[in-house]
Each structure stands twice: as structure tokens, then as C-alpha cells.
Structure 1
Amino acid sequence: MIHADDRIPRADVGSTLLEAIAVIDRGALGICCLVDDIGRLQGVLTDGDTRRALIAGHPLTAPAIDHATASPHTVVAGTPRAHVLDLMHAWRVSAIPEVDAAGLVHGVHALSDVIGPPDLPNVAVIMAGGKGTRLGDLTRHVPKPLMTVAGRPIIDWIILGLVGDGIRKIHVSVNHLADQIIDHVGDGRRLGAEVGYLREDPETPLGTGGSLALLRDRPTEPMLVMNGDLMVDFDAQQLLRFHTQSQSRITVGVRQYSHTVPFGVVEHDAEHRIQQLVEKPDLTVSINTGVYCIDPDLIALVPPDTMSHMPDLVQRCLDDGQRVSAWELSSDWIDVGTPADLARAKGAG
């Protein structure tokens, strides 16, 4: 099927990110064709491009073309559908514009109209029960996962990312202002998922790991667990594959974080003899992103009705001598924990 005429997701080449995002949202194909005043293709902006731009701190008023692919994959008008599908698989794209010899856009082919990502047997748990106290008054009446970024609540972006990788069955752990999250997400069908809820007792918050003990139907395949306040774009299938191949009990998603020490660092031995002075060194470490893959039988180690966190489960495995691995996220990542983080995610920073 080709989306043509007024169904082509396109915008003027001078559009802002916000205007292009609105086109992407309306078109539901994940792309916006940026065209000049006579309709010639100048670039393609994807939903992934917009997420990366916003995570990097660019404002919604930034020119969309600055973040688009200037020489995108295209097919010529009249290309057989079977050939288009082959090219989509080869290029690993889900939508592709059709143009004529003059570069005018005639339509957009969408892979999702014919085939979707294969359903995986794995399930995911999104931890969305926290109060978000670091966001102050912003989360007094609205739970943090419902904070809006690029026109959608954070939890929508998380679910859509999982669904896009074939994860259809999702559990959401809720506590603070739980009814708002449940009312918004519902059964998940509008997002392409099957969503159920792990409802904590408001008087007994369970932390970032404790609600796993509320799962009634224990999964049989490795499962994903992630915090509900993340703006992150990662490949769930790659994470699951790495977890299985490394024979890990838990795989922790990590990313590199660099910090410049604002002082001169003095290195000395136990007898206080100085070996080296280093002026304002850069330190690089791997940080926990709040994305995990775990073997489902580990749920039995989570104490019921007790606050516990995912790092506690990781440490328990380490203490038992079980394999725990790190998997590096290649994409940008924001833990939306403070007003500054939320502003950066919204593109206002």
C-alpha cells in the first residue's frame, strides 16, 4: 500500500521540529517528508531523529531540516511493491518515499501496512509507581510517566519503543496517582500492546524492583524491566540476544558518562608521598540506565510486600557468584528526574 496525495506525511522544508512532529504523529508512519515549495524532496525526518534531537537538548523551534537525512533512501514512481519491500528489508527502514525523476514526492510506502515486527514471547515491566519528588510541584498532581515530551507522555514513548521491537505484553507497576496512568494507557491496544498493571499498596511502596513479586503469571523467557521515566531509544531485540548469548542472569543497560573534576587531583601513596598532580582530569564511568534484562526465575528472590530495588537484585546475584553483564546503549538517554532533565527532554534546554 502506498500513502499518496493528502495522506503523504510532508511539511515545508522550513518547518520547525514541532511542526514536523505533528506531521509524523498525524501520518502514523514514523516519518515526515520535508519538501520545497514545488514539492521536491529535500530531506526525511523520522521519529527517531526527533527523539535524538530532543534528547540532545535542541528546542522544538529548531529547524527540522537540520536533523533530517538530506539524502534519504527513495524509490522511483512505479517500482513494484515486492521490490520496495525487498529494499526496505535491505535498508532496514519502515517507510520510504516514492519520487519521480524531478524529485517530486508521489507517495510513501509503509512496511507496517504489510508486515509488522514479529511478536516476541518476552514480556516487559515498566516501573511507573514513583512519586517523582525531585520534580517538585510538577508531579504533585500528575505522575512523572505522564509528563509530556514531544507531544506524548513519556510512558507512551516507552511502550511504543517496546512494541516497535516486538514486545507486545507489558506490565506497568503503578502506585502514585495510579488511576491517571491506568486511565491514560488503558489496555494498551491503541499503542499496539497488551498492558496489565501491578498495583502497589499506597502505604507500602515497593521501589524499582519490589513490584516484580506481584506478577501472578511468571514469564518463562528473559524479561525486560525498565524505569518509567526514561527517554531512551534502544534495540530490545539486541539486548535480549546479548543476554541469552552471554548466559547472564541479569544484564544491565549502561552508557558512558564523563565528568570533568573542577580541581587539580593529587595522587599519593599510603605514606602520603605524591606521585602525580593531574589538573582537572576527565573521569569516564559506566552508569546504570535503569534498563534491565533478567531471567524470570530471579523473581523468586524478590521479597514480597517489601521495598526493594533492581540494584538490590543485581547485588544479590553478584554475591551468589552468578553472571551479571553490562550492555552498552548506543543511543542518547535521559533519566527525567529533575526539572532540568525534563526541560532538556522537552527540547527547552
Structure 2
Amino acid sequence: MKIWKDIVLSPNDTIREAMRTLDKGSLRIALVCDAEQRLLGTVTDGDTRRALLADANMQDPVSKIMNTSPISVSNGCSRERRLQLMNQHDLTAIPILDSSNRVISLETLHQAMQPEQRDNPVFIMAGGFGTRLQPLTDHCPKPMLRVGDKPMLEHVINQFISYGFHDFYISTHYLPEVIRSHFGDGKDWNVSIQYVYEDCPLGTGGAIGLLPKNLPKLPLIMMNGDVLTKLDYARLLRHHENQKFDATVCVREDEHRVPFGVIETEEELITSMVEKPTYRYKINTGIYVLNPDIVGSVQPSQRIDMPTLLEHHRGNNKRIGTYTSYDYWLDIGQMKDYQKAQKDINIHFKLPNGSDNE
């Protein structure tokens, strides 16, 4: 942050000048640097109080009271690590240094607790008819059915916002005006929301071809608008990038326990006998990360499902991978799922202070 330059002291500045700087900066810390902005130490309110109680003179140089071994981090240090250090050492701010020990920034605790802004576009599919939830969906798109005190689509968007995403696209078809009138252009959520409209359903992947051609050249996250999840989208995106995948399918582990003995045969002869086996599967959560070339491969008005699209690219030697999520996830496809969502919402979508995920 630029404000750090206002709280820099030289080692010859007085304790009185340090106190004035601390008062002016309101950060409870001042940085003591040499002429090249190399960090020599820090001074806090506590340092000045202890110095005066020890009969220091207000005209004494600040070098006499500064902490010569302050906690600092390099420019490459992750936000999670910076936040951990501040909490561990009860700091309100931490200096960020380059390889020559020069101060290049100062991160406050407030800043570190804010989500890192992510410019990756988010594409939410919200055009389905929701026939299995009739009559609730007779006059309302399924993603706009209320779960708790807000539509499920708003929960979806809020979860993305909590991880710093701000560039949203929503695919509509059934009763699109209900979605548009609620979210508008997204300004009430401090995000951008644009819409694409399917004249006729194009399959789970076809709406990708309706997206603007000037999307950021970054991986796009795509998901169904009738899914409630507490998925860590930052971790999903990091996994996609670290593995150098062209597309990532978010999956969950599921199992099916057969309550009987299972017998396999070949030409009437038993080849194996397993008593009450358990079969484990990876199921598709309806959440994907797609690189720009995958997104750009879908043509306008092309009807295609996501498995077909990904199989096509896998056949062309693209790296199509998976990310296994253990976070809360619920696909609201049937009435029993919708009823479960009403029970789960107060457990999984409430913050410790009792407020919701806004």
C-alpha cells in the first residue's frame, strides 16, 4: 500500500517525531529505514511508551528504541502466510521487502483479511426448467428458488465473491427476466454481471459458445446454478494451474454398498464371489475450470454436453484432470434435495457472528 511512505522514519529522527508519525499514520507502527529505503527496524506505540517509562528523552534518536529484528516478509510470501504471521505475533501490519531488504509495501491486517481479487470469469448455468421441482418452478427458475432468506443463485454468487471473484456471466433460458430483475448488472454486490440467452437449450456445454469473445485470457470457472457448495474456489483454481490442466472437473467421492453377495461369472462358471462389496466412484459436481482455448472451441449455437466436449479435447491430447472436493456440496435436483437445503443453510452458510455469507 502507498501509505507506508508516510510512516517512514530515519534512524536519527527523534522519539517525538516517531510519536507524531505514529499518530498521523493510525497504523500503530512506523518503519525506520536508511536513505535507500532498506528496513532497519520498526517502532510501535508500545516501544515509545516503554521508552518514556524508562526515562528516555523525547529528543533521543528513534534508533535507540526501535525493534531491530522486526517481523517482515518477502514479496513472494503468500497472503495466507502473511495473515498467519500477523495473527501469531499480534501485528496490525507487516512490511514487505525485496531481495535487498528494501521496503516495497506494507500490508495491514485488514488488507490481509480481504479476499484477493481474481479476474477469472465465472460462468453460471441458470437456464433449466426445473421440472422435477414443480409446482415451485411454475413461475420461478429453479436457481431463483429461495433457500433460507435468499435465492440459491445468490448463495452461489456470494460464495464466489468471498474468494475475490467479480466478473460473472449467467446463462438464461427459462424466465430470464426473473434473474435479470433480481441481480441487474451486479452493482448491488460490487461485481459485474452479464447475461447470455439460449433461444433453445444447447446442452450443458453449448452456452459457452454464447460468451463474449473478449473474455480475459484466464481460466474460466463454470458451474450449475442449482448447486449449493462451500467449495474453496481458490484452491480449485490453484490445483488447475499447478497441474497445468487444460480443463479440470471438480469431483466428489461417492460409494455404493451392495447388501448382497455379488457373483461374477463367465460362461456359467463363477470367476469371483464378493460378500456385500462396496463400490467407490468419483461423481461429477457440475463445476469445471476451462482454459481459454477450451472455451473458444465451442461455436455459437453449437449444441454439446460437457462430457462430450471434454472427451473431444481429451482425444486431442489435452490435459483433462480432476479436483476432488471434500467441501459441502448439494445438487438441488429433487424436492428432497430442496428440503435438505433448507435445513443445511443455517449450518453451512452462516458465519461465526451469526450473519450470512454476505
Fold shared, TM-score > 0.5 on shorter chain: yes
- Normalising to structure 1: TM-score of the pair? 0.65
- Cα displacement (A) at 1:262: 3.8
Aligned residue for 1:155, secondary structure, equals helix
Offset at 1:91?
8.7
When normalised by structure 2's length, the TM-score is 0.64
Opposite residue 165 of structure 1, the aligned amino acid is Y
Matched positions, count: 250
Partner of 2:133: 135
Gaps of at least 5 residues in structure 1 are 1-78, 94-110
Unaligned runs of 5+ in 2: 1-45, 47-70, 72-78, 88-108, 346-358
Contact 1:127–1:174 (8 Å) recurs in 2: yes
Aligned pair partner of 2:338 in 336, 339, 342 = 342
CA–CA distance in structure 1, aligned partners of residues 163 and 80 of structure 2: 19
Q: Deviations over 1:173-225 (max 9, x none)?
A: 11111100111111122223211111121xx1122211111112233011100
Alpha carbons of structure 1 residues 242 and 306: separation in structure 2 relative to 1, 3 Å: same
1:14-25 matches, within 5 Å, as none
Query: By how many angstroms is 1:92 displaced?
Result: 10
Structure 1 residue aligned with 2:177, among 153, 159, 179? 179
- Of 140-149 and 258-267, more deviation after overlay is shown by 258-267
1:89 to 79, 83, 86: 83
**1:249 counterpart residue number:** 246
1:306 deviates by: 3.0
How big is the shift at 1:165? 0.8
Look up the equivalent residue of 1:317 and give its one-letter code: H
Output the aligned Cα RMSD: 2.9
Given candidates 193, 197, 200, the residue that maps to 2:198 is 200
CA distance in 1, matches of 2:191, 2:161: 6
SS in 1 for 2:203: coil
Match of residue 153, structure 2, among 152, 155, 159: 155
Q: CA deviation at 1:115?
A: 5.8
Contact 2:82 2:112 in 1 (8 A): no
Displacement of 1:112: 6.4
The CA deviation at 1:267 is 1.9
- Give, as a single letter, the amino acid of the residue that structure 2 aligns with 1:253: C
Q: Is 1:327 aligned to 2:323, yes or no?
A: yes
Inter-partner Cα distance in structure 2 for 1:211 and 1:283: 34
Q: Percent identity?
A: 35
Asked if the contact 1:156/1:191 (under 8 Å) is kept, the reply is no
Q: CA deviation at 1:320?
A: 1.4
**Higher alpha-carbon Rg:** 2
Distance 2:318 2:284 in 1: 19
Report Cα offsets for 1:71-127 as digits up to 9, x if no partner: xxxxxxxx9xxx9x999922999xxxxxxxxxxxxxxxxx76886212112111001
Higher relative contact order (CA 8 A, sep 6+): 1
